[in-house]
Structure 1
Amino acid sequence: MLRRMPKVLIAEDEAAIADAVLYALRSEGLEAEHCLLGREVLPRVRAGGIDVVVLDVGLPDTNGFDVCRELRGFSDVPVIFLTARNDEIDRVLGLELGADDYMAKPFSPRELVARVRARLRRPRSAEPAWSERGAFAIDRDGHRIRYHGHALDLTRYEYALLAALLQRPGAILTRAQLMDRGWDDAADSGDRTIDTHIKTLRAKLRAAGMAVGKDNADPIRTHRGLGYSLEA
């Protein structure tokens, strides 16, 4: 069986830079793809087969920092930032968001290829064990949940509630059952505690849904006198 060549995805809106990088990568025997917009990066990485992402910070539709933040919600693919600025605060922010390297323009395409190869030589950690539940995906080991592809920024208790509902989609769970599954001090908490966290959880789900054009996205159902269920 032939070995697959590593593939690099370049997100860069300046044609001259993109062409130079594509040529340099392909000349070194690497496969390369090019996209102009940040919104094209996430679905392409989700589709698989991308080994390194070269990501311009200043894309026309969004900035590379936001793309990297969402990318790290579901993938550990190496990311190398390109930027027209060389400010230390930008470098620090990029690395804190999970980027692996940072190059300021103008740069040498040959040096970029060398940095790409350096990332390819480093062993990748195992991909998280995401479990799909309709519009949801959950990584129970990492205590992370995605909704319509968006990583949710959840508190400990919001995560516990949503994970419990996802474990039994469609089933009605009473407030006591939800409390038992997510609260260490369940005996000292009341029904209002669950209701309050459900309210904030719903707001985050709606915001994630609206980000992909799904208005009023609220999969949590209230069953008066009984509890809550989830339409996954």
Structure 2
Amino acid sequence: MPKLLIVDDDIHLRKLVLTYAELNGYQCEEAENGLKAIEKINSIQFDIVVLDVMMPELDGFETLGEIRKESQVPVIMLTSRSEEYDKLLGFNLGTDDYVPKPFSPKELMARIGAVLKRSGKKTCDKLIFGEFCISPGSRAVTVGGKALNLPPKEFDLLLYLAQNERLVLSREQLLNKVWGYEYYGDARTVDTHIKSLREHLGDYRKVIQTAWGVGYKFEYE
């Protein structure tokens, strides 16, 4: 489980980010200012840091400068300041991304995942797509924190599609990988399970897309 440090003097914002991050499979720590953040980074190995710019004692830029003296942990900065100079300063100091305030928690989670992916860090044994989380080990699926109870084959089907995100998989490929080479079914078996899976996914049914005449793909938008 990846470790996320949330640094902001606004407790309400910290709790908002923490809530969404934990729903997406992150282990979170909080710091109310830059000094506390540096203390935690010196004692705990984090996978990524979300860092506010406007803070008392040490602002975000000063904190980032101190962090970079000892660590190359990925950092995403939260800022209500959009001046080009500020962004250039942040990138020169070593920030990995900027998220302007006010922000969408869903977008922030997506950016955290993207930064971890670029840095070569795995987001954990879970597959995380915004509010959509698949845990292969526990065979669990949660959407927006709500657990979905999928039949075994529907879970296997969803997992294999998600592991090959955006890749169109033919019905034959899905039969071979999900049901096994010894399964003597036909393509309609896949279609039937896809239909049932979409019903279970409810409002998120569109993550399973049809490639007409070919098969299906998983795409979270």
TM-score, structure 1 as length reference: 0.50
Are 2:56 and 1:60 aligned? yes
Residue correspondences, number: 121
Separation in structure 2 between the aligned mates of residue 123 and residue 60 of structure 1, nearest angstrom: 29
Separation in structure 1 between the aligned mates of residue 116 and residue 77 of structure 2, nearest angstrom: 16
Separation in structure 2 between the aligned mates of residue 49 and residue 12 of structure 1, nearest angstrom: 19
- Deviation at residue 124 of structure 1 after TM alignment: 5.2
Separation in structure 1 between the aligned mates of residue 88 and residue 5 of structure 2, nearest angstrom: 23
List per-residue Cα deviations over 1:179-201 (Å, max 9, x = no partner).
xxxxxxxxxxxxxxxxxxxxxxx
Separation in structure 1 between the aligned mates of residue 43 and residue 60 of structure 2, nearest angstrom: 19
Tell me what 2:105 maps to: 109
Question: 8 Å contact 2:74–2:119 — kept in the other structure?
Answer: no
Letter in 2 for 1:87: E
Tell me what 1:39 maps to: 35
- Deviation at residue 36 of structure 1 after TM alignment: 0.4
What is the 5 A alignment of 1:23-102?
A: 23-102=19-98
Matched position secondary structure for 1:72: helix
Separation in structure 1 between the aligned mates of residue 83 and residue 13 of structure 2, nearest angstrom: 20
What is the 5 A alignment of 1:197-212?
A: none
Matched position secondary structure for 1:77: coil
Q: What 5-or-longer segments of structure 1 have no aligned partner?
A: 126-232
Q: What 5-or-longer segments of structure 2 have no aligned partner?
A: 122-221
Alignment RMSD: 1.4
One of 119, 131, 148 as aligned partner of 2:115 = 119
List per-residue Cα deviations over 1:135-182 (Å, max 9, x = no partner).
xxxxxxxxxxxxxxxxxxxxxxxxxxxxxxxxxxxxxxxxxxxxxxxx
Q: List structure 1 segments (4+ residues) > 6 angstroms apart after TM superposition.
A: none
Separation in structure 2 between the aligned mates of residue 7 and residue 86 of structure 1, nearest angstrom: 28
Identity over aligned pairs, percent = 42
One of 4, 7, 11 as aligned partner of 2:7 = 11
